Amino acid sequence: MSCRLGAWLALLLIPTLCTAAANARLNLPDFAALSKTASDSVSITLDPNLLAMAARFLDSKDPEEAQTIDVIKGLQGIYIRSFTFDTDGAYRASDIDSVRAQLAAPGWTRLVETRSRKTHADVDIYIMVDKNQAVGLAVIASEPRQFTIVNIVGAIDLDKLHKLEGQLGVPKLDIDMTPPEKRGVSKSLAPVSPPPPVPKSP
Amino acid sequence: MKNDIESRLREALRPVAPTEDFTRRVIAQATAKSARSADRSGGAASRRLWWLSGIAASLLMAAGVYQHQRAQREVADGLEARRQVLQALALTSQKLDLAYETVKSQSSSLGDPEAGA
């Protein structure tokens, strides 16, 4: 009886999870005008079928590629738009406004916001969480000659991402992996924050 | 005179039993005819069989070529998807690294007041 009830509950929950993941997909413009002026442009659209196909062509015997397979296994899509220009200021901040507006919608939380006066690079990292599980990730990186939008949809396991750190060029992100109950906050929402200043000894 | 003609006609038209040679020739001719006709129909059937075999072989070859091309296309698509996944992860990590570097440089600036913000 309880098994049957569990199965019905699972059936009812599947569409809910799918809807949450579907909401995490941003409507990325094709930036047709910018792609004409850009010296280099990257447009990646990987739906679940293509991700599954890519996983088949990754070598599971190779430790790095095996971890990549593990990371993309729960994903429902990876969408990237990146444009590089020969000159500074070839694009306007308003070009990305439509994407930023979508990230202002409920569900999305800004995890990291960095502004570099040195390199004039601004990076915003957003995350969508559903039932303590990250179901969407968005990165907007604006540099003087380049802007990149990354949208990853699906069950993003931060533990697996943590394991990937230092491999495939993925940096150490200092993601706090302490269980949420010990910190009193959701693990998925642990921000990357600078450590407190260390007082200099006299 | 009349009787003479009649008797000559009767003589000429009298029933004659066929010779043994005649029977043999008729039978041989009939056998040859049926053999020729059997040969002709057998050749047509053989030709039809050849045509069918040719068509079947062509269809098999076309199916094989199609399967091969499909497999090649799948491999090409798979390798392209793999390349895109690796490029996507590399690009993502590059941008995450950019954020990390900014955070790191700001934290070191905060840690060392002489370094300047």
Q: What is chain A's pLDDT, residue by residue, as a tens digit (202 residues)? A: 454 545 554 444 444 444 555 588 999 988 888 888 999 999 999 999 999 999 999 988 988 888 888 888 889 999 999 999 999 888 888 888 889 999 998 889 998 888 888 888 899 999 998 888 889 999 999 999 999 999 999 988 766 655 555 554 444 444 443 433 443 333 333 333 433 443 444 3
A195 contacts B99? CB cut-off 8 A:
no
Residue A39: which of A77, A73, A78, A90 has the closest Cα?
A90
Chain centroid offset of residue A95 CA: 20
pLDDT per residue rounded down to tens, chain B (117 residues): 678 888 888 888 888 777 778 888 888 888 888 888 877 877 888 888 999 999 999 999 999 999 999 999 999 999 999 999 988 988 888 888 888 888 877 777 666 554 433
CA–CA separation, A76 and A26 (whole Å)? 13
Residue in B98, B101, B106 to test binding to A, most A beta-carbons within 10 Å = B98
Chain centroid offset of residue B2 CA: 83
ipTM over 0.90: no
DSSP state of A5: H
Domain definitions of chain B by residue range:
20-108
Nearest residue in chain B measured CA to CA from A111? B99
CA–CA separation, A79 and A25 (whole Å)? 8
- State the Cα torsion A6-A11-A13-A14 to the nearest 10°: 140
Q: Hey, is the C-beta of A201 within 8 angstroms of any chain B C-beta?
A: no
